[in-house]
């Protein structure tokens, strides 16, 4: 496949992986008001991404084995486009929720399969493609909330993201025509198959799954609730939206840096510890003086969010065969998102029950300690192929 098409395909896919979700966080209050919905439904809405990523992420690899990676990705992209185009114009909150689930279902497929697709088709461009993937994914999350500043209306702010979704479908239609049924290879470069060995028997895979889950939980809580935390403490809605943009900008930077760092450094086990510590510091600032320096606390949370591109980059970095990469992605992300899905929902319920953030924020800071511990083990220089082969 031509290098230009490789990079264009990854760019288009990554650009659509977060904006359709993060744009909702920026207009959550307006959306709830339009449907006369309360805090519990806000918890449901913000929990949908993690829940759908968990359920439908598990189905992505089996589907790819039947249809091929590219075809399965295209199916997911069409589903996401349908949800994005219709969701803003419905009049019932439950229809809105179902269409939001459709959007995140399509995104879930790409979340799981895109690293494996890059491993399968990237060749000598794998590190560069993972850099594009991680950085543009972060950029997508960062610019999502800005659509409300451009349009001024929550419905158009949500609908805007159907436009790049159309472009994505067109690009990947060309990809499918060139690749056909691209089922990933099942053998390792050293020979032998490991598809019959459960990933639960790989310690590195299990720790990577927990690390991914904890950092995703933090990310989706921030995506869904960070503007609300600020506005509840008297910060203007515009500044509150900008804090989410700032967090996303750091994700872009992390996506540019972390694939290269992981590929070139001999040992990176200390990185998750540092990033987790910085995240905890951001939460402490948000807890003690949220309105005093909102951009500073958001900046700390954003820098701590380097955990996300680290976890994503570790999936191809700690696997050799494309099938192991696909299986690892289909293990780490869906199960990790089960953990992630609990966070926004519990936060919504706790916020409605307590009426403030005084207990919720320090608990989020405390969870960063656990994230540091599992991240330290997940980043060890071990190939999961070897751990699976040793269990045969």
pTM score: 0.74
Supply the range of the domain harboring residue 257. 3-390
Q: For the chain, what is the domain count? A: 1
Distance CA 299, CA 281 (A): 10
Alpha helices in the chain (DSSP H): 3-15, 19-26, 28-34, 39-67, 69-86, 93-121, 126-143, 147-151, 154-159, 162-179, 203-232, 237-264, 270-288, 294-304, 307-317, 322-354, 360-378, 384-390
Q: The CATH number of the domain where 216 resides is what?
A: 1.20.1250.20
Give the pLDDT of the chain (392 residues) as one tens digit per residue: 789 999 999 999 999 988 888 788 778 878 888 888 766 677 778 778 767 777 777 788 888 888 999 999 999 999 999 999 999 999 888 899 999 989 988 998 888 889 889 988 988 898 889 888 888 887 887 777 777 777 778 889 899 999 999 999 999 999 999 998 888 665 554 544 556 788 999 999 999 999 999 998 998 788 778 988 999 999 888 888 888 878 878 877 887 888 888 778 878 889 999 999 999 999 999 999 999 999 999 999 999 999 988 888 888 888 888 788 888 888 888 788 778 778 888 888 888 888 889 999 999 999 999 999 999 999 988 899 899 888 77
């Amino acid at each position: 496949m031509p290098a230009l098409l490789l990079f264009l395909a990854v760019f288009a896919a990554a650009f659509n992986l977060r904006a359709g979700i993060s744009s909702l966080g920026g207009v959550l209050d307006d959306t709830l008001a339009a449907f006369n919905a309360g805090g519990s439904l806000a918890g449901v809405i913000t929990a949908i991404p993690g829940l759908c990523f968990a359920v439908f992420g598990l189905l992505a690899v089996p589907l790819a084995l039947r249809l091929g990676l590219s075809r399965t990705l295209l199916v997911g992209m069409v589903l996401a486009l349908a949800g994005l185009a219709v969701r803003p114009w419905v009049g019932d909150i439950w229809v809105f929720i179902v269409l939001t689930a459709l959007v995140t279902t399509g995104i879930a497929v790409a979340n799981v399969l895109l690293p494996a697709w890059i491993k399968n088709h990237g060749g000598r461009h794998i590190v560069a493609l993972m850099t594009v993937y991680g950085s543009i994914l972060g950029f997508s999350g960062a610019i999502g909330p800005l659509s409300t500043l451009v349009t001024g209306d929550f419905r158009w702010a949500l609908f805007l993201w159907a436009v790049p979704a159309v472009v994505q479908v067109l690009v990947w239609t060309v990809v499918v025509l060139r690749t056909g049924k691209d089922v990933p290879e099942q053998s390792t470069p050293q020979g032998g198959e490991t598809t019959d060995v459960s990933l639960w028997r790989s310690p590195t895979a299990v720790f990577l799954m927990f690390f991914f889950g904890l950092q995703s939980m933090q990310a989706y809580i921030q995506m869904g609730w960070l503007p609300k935390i600020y506005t509840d403490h008297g910060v203007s809605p515009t500044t509150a939206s900008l804090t989410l943009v700032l967090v996303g900008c750091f994700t872009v930077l992390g996506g540019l840096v972390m694939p290269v760092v992981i590929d070139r450094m001999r040992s990176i086990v200390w990185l998750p510890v540092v990033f987790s510590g910085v995240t905890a510091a951001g939460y402490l600032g948000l807890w003690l003086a949220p309105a005093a320096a909102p951009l500073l606390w958001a900046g700390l949370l954003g820098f701590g969010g380097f955990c996300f591109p680290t976890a994503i980059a570790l999936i191809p970095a700690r696997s050799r065969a494309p099938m192991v990469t696909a299986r690892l992605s289909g293990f780490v992300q869906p199960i990790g998102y089960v953990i992630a899905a609990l966070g926004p929902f519990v936060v919504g319920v706790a916020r409605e029950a307590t009426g403030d953030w005084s207990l919720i924020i320090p608990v989020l800071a405390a969870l960063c300690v656990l994230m540091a511990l599992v991240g330290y083990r997940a980043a060890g220089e071990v190939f999961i192929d070897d751990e699976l082969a040793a269990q045969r």
